[in-house]
Amino acid sequence: MVRRYACMLAVAAGLLLGLATVSRSKGLRGKKPQGVSRIPSLFREEERIAMKEALKGAIQIPTVSFSDEESNTTALAEFGEYMQKVFPTLFNTSFIQHEVVGEYSHLFTVQGSDPTLQPYMLMAHFDVVPAPGEGWDVPPFSGLERDGFIHGRGTLDNKNSVMAILQALKLLLIRNYIPQRSFFIALGHDEEVSGKNGAQKISTLLQARGVQLAFIVDEGSFILDGFVPNLKKPFAQIAVSEKGAVNLMLEVNMTPGHSSAPPKETSIGILAAAVSRLEQTPMPNMFGEGPLKIALEQLGNEFSFPINIILCNLWLFQPLVDGEKLHHQCDDKDHHSTHHVQCRGQGKCNTPKGPGHNQLPDSPCTDCPGGTYYMFRQLVQHQGGTCIGNTDSRHYTNLSTSIYRFNPLYLQPQDFSSIHGINEKISVQAYETQVKFIFELIQNADIFQAQAPHWHEL
Ligand X SMILES: *[C@@H]1O[C@H](CO)[C@@H](O)[C@H](O)[C@H]1NC(C)=O
User: So which residues are the catalytic ones?
Assistant: 127, 191
- Compute the least distance from the CB of residue 141 to ligand X, in Å: 8
Residues 66/127, Cβ–Cβ less than 8 Å: no
Does the protein bind ligand X through residue 88 (CB under 6 A)?
yes
User: Site map for ligand X, 19-58, x if CB under 6 A?
Assistant: ----------------------------------------
CB burial readout 93-129, b (16+ within 10 A) else e: beebebeebbebbbbbbbebeeeebebbbbbbbbbbb
Q: Which of 395, 405, 425, 436 binds ligand X (CB under 6 A)?
A: 395
- Segment contacting ligand X by CB under 6 A, of 113-121, 276-284, 338-346, 390-398: 390-398
- Compute the least distance from the CB of residue 163 to ligand X, in Å: 17
First-to-final CA distance of the chain:
41
What separation in angstroms does the CA of 265 have from each of 344, 352, 392? 21, 22, 43
Does the protein bind ligand X through residue 89 (CB under 6 A)?
yes
- Compute the least distance from the CB of residue 259 to ligand X, in Å: 43
What separation in angstroms does the CA of 437 have from each of 6, 165, 215, 275, 430? 36, 9, 16, 45, 10
- Segment contacting ligand X by CB under 6 A, of 69-77, 179-187, 269-277, 313-321: 69-77
Instruction: Please report, as residue ranges, which positions from 398 to 437 form the binding site for ligand X (by CB under 6 A).
Output: 398
Does the protein bind ligand X through residue 101 (CB under 6 A)?
no
Of the two residues 75 and 239, which places its CB atom closer to ligand X in the complex?
75
- Compute the least distance from the CB of residue 382 to ligand X, in Å: 27
- Compute the least distance from the CB of residue 61 to ligand X, in Å: 6
Q: Which of 62, 140, 188, 220 binds ligand X (CB under 6 A)?
A: 62
Does the protein bind ligand X through residue 103 (CB under 6 A)?
no
Torsion sign across C-alpha atoms 271, 273, 275, 281:
negative
Does the protein bind ligand X through residue 123 (CB under 6 A)?
no
Binding site for ligand X (CB under 6 A): 61-62, 64, 72, 74-75, 78, 88-89, 92, 203, 395, 397-398
